Chain A
Amino acid sequence: QSVLTQPPSASGTPGQRVTISCSGSSSNIGSNYVYWYQQLPGTAPKLLIYRNNQRPSGVPDRFSGSKSGTSASLAISGLRSEDEADYYCAAWDDSLSGFWVFGGGTKLTVL
């Protein structure tokens, strides 16, 4: 059971907009930044969104992140076949001595 909760799957057709949610608590999302990682099949994860809504250089502006309270969302607009991947949210958790937590991951299928 992951500390951050994501839907196990999501889907959309090319060109559509899809969103993936990530729910946490006051000790993680509620008080720290949220990060999103994309893992294409058979490859290492890649940073997609940092500090809630910032895109690293090279990430298309079709990808956007937002945060409200203890929840966050990743939105992908203009869905493309190459977006089919697993997506993970992550945040630092302030409880105990501190540690990083990931969501369980969402498998995005482009129909």
Chain B
Amino acid sequence: EVQLVESGGVVVQPGGSLRLSCAASGFTFDDYAMHWVRQAPGKGLEWVSLISWDGGSTYYADSVKGRFTISRDNSKNSLYLQMNSLRAEDTALYYCAKDFDSRGDDAFDIWGQGTMVTVSS
């Protein structure tokens, strides 16, 4: 079964750091680009970041550029999001999603169930 399972979401203080993980199974992980997408409570979807199949290309939303870093370990079938200088507006459910292709410019065809990040003092 194709599956994505996120972890690492917690309550963290403003200015703090956090690393999210996404474990992939059921497909050849290193054939596909991967994304992080977030959803603030009661709000819509916001794309956060994208990494190509080999980690050679990464893209970020302006709202997180310079603070968040996406990475992957293909040997562990895992995707990561290092989040620094966290702000209240980063509070959201964070989803990892698989792309249709290796570059990251096609459909998000598989989604995890999300991990909740709350930034609060």
Contacts and interface: CB of A to CB of B under 8 A. Distances in A.
A51 B59 contact: no
A98 B60 CA distance: 9
Nearest to A35: B107
A68 interface: no
A20 to B, nearest CB: 13
B108 A37 contact: yes
B105 A37 contact: no
Interface residues of A, number: 26
Contact of A102 (B46, B95, B100): B46
Contacts of A37: 45, 108
B89 interface: no
5 contacts: A35-B107, A47-B107, A51-B107, A88-B45, A92-B105
Interface of B: 35, 37, 44-47, 50, 59-62, 95, 100, 105-109, 111-114
8 nearest CB pairs, A to B: A100-B47, A50-B107, A105-B44, A44-B111, A102-B45, A104-B44, A92-B105, A47-B109
